[in-house]
Amino acid sequence: MSKKRIYLSSPTMHGEEQKYVQEAFDTNWVAPLGPNVNALEQEMAAYTQCGHAAALSAGTAAIHLALRLLGIGQGDIVFVSDLTFSASCNPIAYEKGTPVFIDSEPDTWNMSPEALERAFEKYPEPKAVICVHLYGTPAKLDRIMEICERHHVPLIEDAAESLGSTYKGRHTGTFGKYGIYSFNGNKIITTSGGGMLVSKEEEAVKRATFLATQARDPARHYQHSQIGYNYRMSNVTAGIGRGQLLHLEEHKAKKKEIYRKYREAFSDIPEITMNPMNPDGDANCWLSGMLIADNSEITPDIIMDALDAENIESRPVWKPMHLQPVFAGYDFIPHNEDGSSVGERVFNRGLCLPSDIKNTDEDMELIIGIIRGCFGK
């Protein structure tokens, strides 16, 4: 008999999603746009208090449109978190901008304010900063915002992983000039695929919506005065999102409980530390990560192989962008004054643990037992 598959983070459906999807079919609103899209934008704006929202085909599309709104072009420098998924910085390349990768700090694994300060010393006139809230943990937003405001540079918050997370009581994604969310299949809620651009500026979101709808001019015939994109969310997938949003707080509570169980289970193993939390924030704990001490003989690969042998999915930490072949040659600003990288250490000694909210108590006991066994416990 094959062993049950335990996933890293798979979609969790509840039933309400089908009601909204069925409405789309019953009314023949199966093409892009429609009542579900409008409603999801309104419901997300109400939940996050972001102001205004545009439902899009992906979080990557939202970052791209944010860069377009800021006028990023050939050679323009954009500071971006280094320890992240490539979607955070690929859109810089779409617009022929120049990414400068900013190291993490050890307290949250997010963008280092110290490295950001040094980046401004080296490059005084970047056009934007993209800060990622890694694995759902809020970055040090007060310091990052203060630095950006002092230098009069707009902040884009990549909150793809942190929907539902708050910093000092306010939702991540709502601090910068623009914020983005992802509804990819493994995120805390999903539309199967999709994303959202949010801003307090209504006109900016209207322009993003225009660009996302092929930039079609308001003429009776098909007329286009500038390049646009096919980035709008479909009414069907928006229906899934509406049903999912009803359960976001429930998902967040279960994710936090998974993190708590891991932290308590490994508290007697000095070689293990869990991914750090920002004391000024309330993380959604999208993925629970662990860091193994440098002096330990146990490596992330040993643990991932042991889990995989039992049909349990885990994942390495994101490989830093400055180590990616596609971004070879772009500058990297380290956190440590000696030039060493916090993000590289996290990548080399860290891994993401199974964080699926459908995990049973028995599943968690199995996962924890396998990991403890790797350390002889």
Q: Where in the chain is the domain with CATH 3.90.1150.10?
A: 248-374
> The domain 248-374: what is its CATH number?
3.90.1150.10
Q: Where in the chain is the domain with CATH 3.40.640.10?
A: 16-245
pLDDT exceeds 80 at position 355: yes
How far apart are alpha carbons 139 and 153 in whole angstroms? 17
Q: Which pLDDT band, with edges at 50, 70 and 90, does 2 fall under? A: low
Q: What angle do CA 338, 343, 345 make, to 5 degrees?
A: 75
Q: Residue 128 corresponds to which tokens in the numbers above?
A: 């934007």
Q: Specify the fold of 16-245.
A: Aspartate Aminotransferase; domain 2 (3.40.640)
How far apart are alpha carbons 104 and 123 in whole angstroms? 18
pLDDT exceeds 60 at position 32: yes
Check residue 373 and give its pLDDT. 97
Could you tell me which of 182, 195, 132, 163 has the C-alpha nearest to residue 286? 163
Q: Which residues contact 224 (CB under 8 A, 6 or more apart)?
A: 214, 215, 216, 217
Put simply, whether the predicted model's pTM sits higher than 0.85 gets the answer: yes
Residue 290 phi/psi, 5° resolution? -130, 150
Q: DSSP readout, 161-209?
A: T-TT-EETTEETTSSSSEEEEE--TTSSS--SS-EEEEES-HHHHHHHH
% of the chain with per-residue pLDDT over 70: 99
Check residue 31 and give its pLDDT. 77
How far apart are alpha carbons 230 and 155 in whole angstroms? 25
Q: Give the tens place of pLDDT for each residue, 61-91.
A: 999 999 999 999 999 999 999 999 999 999 9
pLDDT exceeds 80 at position 1: no
How far apart are alpha carbons 1 and 311 in whole angstroms? 12
Check residue 268 and give its pLDDT. 97
Q: Give the tens place of pLDDT for each residue, 134-157.
A: 999 999 999 999 999 999 999 999
pLDDT exceeds 90 at position 232: yes
